[in-house]
Structure 1
Amino acid sequence: MSHVTSLFLYISLGTVEVLAYPSLKAVDTLTAHTAGCYCIAIDPLGRYFAVGSADSLVSLWDISEMLCVRTFTKLEWPVRTISFNHTGEYIASASEDLFIDISNVETGRSVHQIPCRAAMNSVEWNPKFNLLAYAGDDKNKYQADEGVFRIFGFDSA
């Protein structure tokens, strides 16, 4: 029995290209955004994937239907990075805004914002706990040419 797995690619025209793996044959092209897509993440339960774009939106897509079910609108600058937490309950997104937004995936509501002093380049949840690592362009007081890496503990209770 053969098993086909999808591979998601994003391109700069606001679309997401869905390819079959390992053949890499085109399966679908989704019009996801009005501007370039910069990042993509798949939730750990395999229900959704999210796309961050230069239009400052994060779109949430149902994998089984290939339909956009929600957008996250808290950021005002191009979305640089997104990540789902280990349960798929929360999504973190960041940009040049001076905060990282953490939203509930099912409701779309922002549940927390982490203040930042500069643009963020990367957010990533721990695979087992609600710990979010993030790194950006802000400088530490000892090495003016290097960015800073931080970890935020998020209690969902």
Structure 2
Amino acid sequence: MNRFPMTVEGEKALREELTQLKTVDRPRISQAIAEARELGDLKENAEYHAAREQQSFAEGRINDIEGKLSNAQVIDITTINKTGKVLFGTTVVLVNLDTDDEVEYKIVGDDEADIKDNKISVNSPIARALVGKEEGDVVVVNTPSGSVEYEIDEVKHI
């Protein structure tokens, strides 16, 4: 079975969503279905069909999250010795060698990736170019607008 890397924060977010779905959403949807049933004819009962659709979505998401958590390999980067090497879970400060602009990315699992929050998937082209490299190394990242050279300025275990 394949294990999927996940940060401590990613696992926590999934566990919180799972708790919300099981303890809040599931009972609320069941109640909505019960109330809609009391309205009579189910064929033309929009409330009933909407609640059943919500139930289907919620149950699917619960199964999805449980599957992800059961296959997760949670990696706490703060417990790993800092060597200056880019690993899953590290936060990497890069300097664009053409513009001297700095950018900082945290390398996370696919489900945690959020470019607005500077979290990139370990499977993204940038992360694949970085993983295994060390502070001071220069990496070339191929982007849609061409190749960009970055120097790895710092690797943080935060």
Pairwise TM-score range, normalised by the shorter structure: under 0.3
Name the TM-score, length of structure 1 as normaliser.
0.23
State TM-score, norm by structure 2. 0.23
Q: Name the structure where strand makes up a greater proportion of residues.
A: 1
Whose helix proportion is higher, 1 or 2? 2
Which one has a bigger Cα radius of gyration?
A: 2
